[in-house]
Amino acid sequence: MATLDVTFAALADPTRRAILARLALGEATVMELVQPFELTQPAISQHLKVLENAGLITRRVEGTKRPCRLAQEGVAEIDQWLAMLRKALARSYERLDNVLAEIETKKGRKKK
C-alpha cells in the first residue's frame, strides 16, 4: 500500500490538513487559499502539489484558474482507515465496560 504511505506523509503537515479541512467546505482556487493561510502563492501551490500526488485532491481547469477539491477516492481511503482506528477505541471500550461487569459479577458470586 504505497499510496497510503504517500497519503500519510501528505497528512503529516498541519497546513495541508488545514487545507483539506477548508476544501471539505467546498472547492477553492489557489488565490482563495493564499489569503486565510497567510502563505505565499508558491508555498500553497507546493502544498497542493503534495496533496494532489497523494490522491487527496483533484484540480480542474476553468479558464486560467485551476480550482481544487477533495478527491472522493483518496479521502474515502483514509477515511476507511481513520474511521477504523478512531471509532475502534471508543467502541471497544464501551464493550469492555460490559466484559468488566461480567467479570466483577462472577467474582462477586464466587465470594458468596
Partner 1 sequence: MSKMTLKTEGDRHVVVTRKFAASPEALYRAHTEPKLIQKWMLGPEGWTMPVCVSEAKPGGKIRFEWTREKGGGFYLTGEYVELKPHSKIVHVERMFLPDPTPDNHVETRFDADRSGTLMTMRMTLPDEKARAAMLATGMESGMEASYVRLEGVIQTEASKQASAP
> Which among 1-9, 32-40, 44-52, 58-66 is the span making contact with partner 1, rule CB under 8 A?
1-9
Cell numbers for 73: 477516492
- CA 68 vs. chain centroid, Å, equals 16
- Contact flag: residue 31 with partner 1 (CB under 8 A): no
Using the rule CB under 8 A, which residue among 43, 53, 66, 88 binds partner 1? Answer: 88
Of 17 and 65, nearer to partner 1 (C-beta) is 17
Residue 26, SS3 per DSSP: coil
Instruction: Count CB atoms within 10 A of the CB of residue 65.
Output: 13
Residue 96, SS3 per DSSP: helix
What is the closest distance, in whole angstroms, from the C-beta atom of residue 94 to partner 1 in the complex?
7
- Contact flag: residue 98 with partner 1 (CB under 8 A): yes
